[in-house]
Amino acid sequence: MPSRFLLLAFCFGFETLARSRATGLSRLTARISEPGNMGQAMLNDEIRLKVGLGDRSYAIIIRDGLLTGVGADLADLGSARRYAVVADDRVAGLFATALLAGLKQAGVRVELLTFPHGETSKNMTTISQLASDLARLGWDRGDGLIALGGGVSGDITGFLASIYMRGIPFVQVPTTLLAQVDSSVGGKTGVDIPEGKNLLGSFYQPRRVYIDPGVLASLPPHEMRNGLAEVIKYGVIYDGDFFGQLKQRRESILARDRQALATVIARCCAIKAEVVAADEREADSRRILNFGHTLGHAVEAASDYTLAHGAAVAIGMATVAEIAVAKGLWSREDAENLRGLIEAYGLPTQVPPELDRQRIKAYLKTDKKCVVGRPFFVLPLAIGKVTISDEVDERLIDQALAG
């Protein structure tokens, strides 16, 4: 079948990238000038990428209208005898009918399990309720899960899949931009506990990721912006050409042109796939994905989570840009360029004046990724190239937070 042949061709393309297996940041940053070429991977309107992780490798499939086609592909994949679709109540109302119809048409046996939407559901109570549902349905190690929805559903379902009967297969069907460009790829799963976000979790890779850019049509604008902050992040950390194209194609991206979205999502997934293949468990180079997040998480927490994640990350990126300029690592011109792009996508760049700076700094020191109380920062060296450093003077942080 020609499509299979082409899939192989793409796999080989990505295999080559994966085989370069950078072990440290320098090898990864050396690859940063790989062309952004947003449209390069378009293929009969279907884009296939591969996350190269040896026997845990998997494909990411991106196609407009794919939601109804998941069944046919899943039937071919043959990872499980039957699947339970796990979705929040909102997402289930929007997309479960179409997804389930396609699955049933392809002869895939399926059940639907739901939980209330929102981050507050991302906890062990939901996990244990869903596990009980599975047990009552007689789910065993030959059965699988489908995570349908945003990052909350992806994280819950992936975590459940990793621990139910010591591990069952799962696939991702992400429906927010944030989930399509970030959380559905890379195998981080988990839930929150009252003491902090994502403190319980596992690394557990999906068997496949199915991305339909068309489902983003119903996504509220503030949820869209959460994903756009991550999209800009990829440009800064990895691909200057892509950054430039985000500037050029802003209007069609914001208008949610499906072709434009598909190519943006594909480039982000390709970058994440390469970063994850080089350092699956975030021992070193995967940390570049935290650009804007060290400060962003602190700002988000200091706002008592009234600031959305995307807004906090946007502020984090703009603030850390000032730190990089003050350290003499980055040019003022590039920092302004980044600030301009963030604002062009409707995201903030200033720490809100009402936020207590001391509280932000206190959160920085308790970040779970700190090593002995020292936060690390991902600092830009050029657009498309970053370095990781824990050598940032408190004075520079104060200065950047002062705005």
Ligand X SMILES: NC(=O)c1ccc[n+]([C@@H]2O[C@H](COP(=O)([O-])OP(=O)(O)OC[C@H]3O[C@@H](n4cnc5c(N)ncnc54)[C@H](O)[C@@H]3O)[C@@H](O)[C@H]2O)c1
Chain residues binding ligand X by CB under 6 A are: 88, 90-91, 94, 117-119, 122, 149-153, 155, 175-176, 178-179, 182-183, 186, 188, 197-198, 215-216, 218-219, 223, 226
The residue (of 100 and 179) whose beta carbon lies closer to ligand X is 179
- Told to judge if 188 belongs to the known catalytic residues of this protein, a careful annotator would answer yes
Compute the C-alpha angle 221/183/43, nearest 5°: 85
Residue closer to ligand X, measured from CB, 25 or 224: 224
Task: List the one residue out of 247, 253, 190, 198 whose CA is nearest residue 221.
Answer: 253
Find the catalytic residue in 122, 188, 267, 287.
188
Catalytic residue among 274, 297, 300, 322: 297
Q: CB 273 → ligand X: shortest distance, Å?
A: 13
Does the annotation count 282 as an active-site position?
yes
Min separation Cβ 227 and ligand X, Å:
7
Which residue in 233, 258, 272, 287 is the catalytic one? Answer: 272
Looking at the Cβ atoms of 17 and 308, the one nearer to ligand X is 308
Residue 386: which region, alpha, beta or left (left: phi > 0; alpha: psi -120 to 50)?
beta
In the 8-state DSSP scheme, what is residue 374? B
Q: Which of 286, 300, 322, 385 is catalytic?
A: 286
- What's the sign of the alpha-carbon dihedral 281, 286, 289, 290? positive
Annotated active-site residue 111? The verdict is no
Name the minimum Å distance from CB 323 to ligand X.
23
Residue 290 a catalytic site member: yes
CB of 113 to ligand X, least distance (A): 15
d(CA 377, CA 391) in angstroms, rounded, equals 8
Token pair recorded at residue 332: 């003022």
**Comparing C-alpha atoms, which of 221, 357, 222, 258 is closest to residue 299?**
357
Q: Which is nearer to ligand X, 195 or 333 (CB)?
A: 195
Using only C-alpha atoms, the chain has a radius of gyration, in whole angstroms, of 20
Q: Which of 46, 223, 230, 322 is catalytic?
A: 230
Q: How far is the CB of 203 from ligand X (least distance, A)?
A: 10
Q: Which of 208, 267, 287, 293 is catalytic?
A: 293
- What b/e readout covers 344-383, taking b as 16+ CB neighbours within 10 angstroms? ebebbbebeeebeeeebbebbeebeeeeeeebbbbbbeeb
SS3 396: helix
Is 293 known to be catalytic?
A: yes
Q: Which is nearer to ligand X, 10 or 203 (CB)?
A: 203
SS3 sequence, 81-121?
CEEEEEEEHHHHHHHHHHHHHHHHHCCCEEEEEEECCCHHH
Q: How many residues does the chain have?
A: 403
For ligand X, the closer CB: 162 or 183: 183
Q: How far apart are CA 150 and CA 176, in angstroms?
A: 5
Residue closer to ligand X (CB basis): 19 or 368: 368
Q: Is 343 labeled as catalytic in the residue annotation?
A: no
Say how far apart CA 50 and CA 15 lie, in whole Å.
8
Catalytic residue among 117, 208, 287, 309: 309
Least CB distance to ligand X at residue 286 (A): 10
CB of 296 to ligand X, least distance (A): 11
Dist CA 242 CA 249 (whole Å): 10
By annotation, the residues acting in catalysis are 166, 188, 230, 272, 282, 286, 290, 293, 297, 309
